[in-house]
Structure 1
Amino acid sequence: MNRELREFRRLERVCLEQAALSTLDLARSGLLKVADDCRIAAEAIEAKSPRGALAGAVEALKLALSATRVSHRH
């Protein structure tokens, strides 16, 4: 596992843990969305063939963020 993949998975876990502890609906919702974006980015990294690890991680995160922005507009 590469470092970027581990970091996305770690961030996903932290966001999920903090969402579980949050008493504010808005904060919980935001944390869950970030956790989902991290999961999507990590899955994209896992699915891609090895190339520039940092470039792959950045591209995966961009794709994840753009996909969630488009789907939330409707």
Structure 2
Amino acid sequence: MNRELREFRRLERLCLEQAALSTLDWARSGLLKVANDCRLAADTIEARSRPPGTFAGAVQALRLALGAMRSSSGHHSGRRH
């Protein structure tokens, strides 16, 4: 599981770095969305690795729920039709 966690964190950093360098709005937006998805996946892995019943686990679960709500409400492409 640590390997998966490290890989998601690495991909998140890579996407954030590439988004900062991107000159195209659509590419930057896509990279930021992928970075967010990687962060959510890594946070989920971290939350599952904690022992149940801890305060940190409850805080992490709340953070994941709020992050999922935030990403689903702002998860549109920004394209004009």
Please tell me the residue identity of whatever aligns with 1:37. Answer: D
- Percent identity over the alignment is 80
Give the aligned partner of residue 37 of structure 1: 37
Contiguous gaps of at least 5 residues in structure 1? 51-66
Q: Structure 2 length normalisation: TM-score?
A: 0.61
**CA RMSD, Structure 1 to Structure 2 (Å):** 2.0
Partner of 1:11: 11
Hey, which of these two has a bigger chunk of helix by percent?
A: 1
If asked which structure has higher relative contact order (CA below 8 Å, sep 6+), I would say 1
Deviation at 1:6, TM superposition (A): 0.1
| Counterpart AA for 1:14 | L
The TM-score, its normalising length taken from structure 1, stands at 0.66
Paired residues, number: 56
Q: Following TM superposition, where does structure 1 have runs of at least 4 consecutive aligned residues deviating by more than 2 angstroms?
A: 70-73
C-alpha displacement of 1:36: 0.1
| Larger of the two Rg values belongs to structure | 2
Unaligned runs of 5+ in 2: 51-67, 77-81
1:49 Cα deviation from its structure 2 partner: 3.5
2:12, 2:35 → 1: CA distance?
Answer: 4
